[in-house]
Amino acid sequence: MIEIAGIRTESFEDGIGIRVVIYFQGCKHYCHNCQNPHTWDFGKGNEVTIQYLLNIIQNDVLSSGVTFSGGCPFCSNNLDEIIELAKEIKTLGYNIWVYCGEKIENLNEKQLKLLDYVDVLIDGMYVDKLRDDTLAFRGRSNQRIINVKEYLEGGNSNTSIRSL
């Protein structure tokens, strides 16, 4: 089971293409002025199965990708299941974007396992005062859009960040 805070279908704002966004429950970053503080506490979301989420994704006929958001997917108590979910989603042919409060350089070994299935990572804390409404797919200028494959193949987060 995976604990989620919510789901959004047909999103235009959480990555390239039309996407299903899964908001996982639980976050340990506690950013100042967070937009979704109700997603912080563990145990306050809904428990769903991987199959339930896969059904929702497949029923959203226009979507070509899935975005993991939160909360923070990397903070979730269900990281193993989330990795399993990501694997299934990739098998179905969708691309995966992930929003994460941690910097990519600071992810631990287990967290890095999820990256095997992730195409794009948008990393960095939500720093309220760095607001910039003109940016693509992110609201704060410290957030970076990282091509995960390039990063893992030995590039660093600077060369693999696409400017959008």
Residues at the contact surface with other proteins, assessed by CB under 8 A: 6, 8-13, 16-18, 60-62, 64, 131-134, 136-137, 164
CA quadruple 139, 148, 108, 68: dihedral positive or negative?
positive
The residue among 61 and 93 lying less far from other proteins, judged by its C-beta, is 61
> Could you tell me the smallest distance in angstroms from the CB atom of residue 44 to other proteins?
17
> Could you tell me the smallest distance in angstroms from the CB atom of residue 111 to other proteins?
26
Within 13 Å and on the Cβ side, how many CA atoms surround 95?
14
The residue among 70 and 114 lying less far from other proteins, judged by its C-beta, is 70
Tell me which residue of 77, 155, 78, 80 sits closest to 121, measured CA to CA.
155
Query: What number of other Cβ atoms are within 10 A of residue 51's Cβ?
Result: 10
> Could you tell me the smallest distance in angstroms from the CB atom of residue 5 to other proteins?
10
- What are the tokens at 42? 């563990």
In angstroms, the CA 9 to CA 21 distance is: 6
> Could you tell me the smallest distance in angstroms from the CB atom of residue 154 to other proteins?
28
> Could you tell me the smallest distance in angstroms from the CB atom of residue 97 to other proteins?
12
Residue 81 · residue 51 · CB < 8 Å: no
Furthest-apart CA atoms within the chain: distance in Å: 39
Residue 100 · residue 128 · CB < 8 Å: no
> Any idea which residue has 């957030």 for tokens?
143
The residue among 114 and 120 lying less far from other proteins, judged by its C-beta, is 120
The residue among 154 and 164 lying less far from other proteins, judged by its C-beta, is 164
The residue among 62 and 92 lying less far from other proteins, judged by its C-beta, is 62
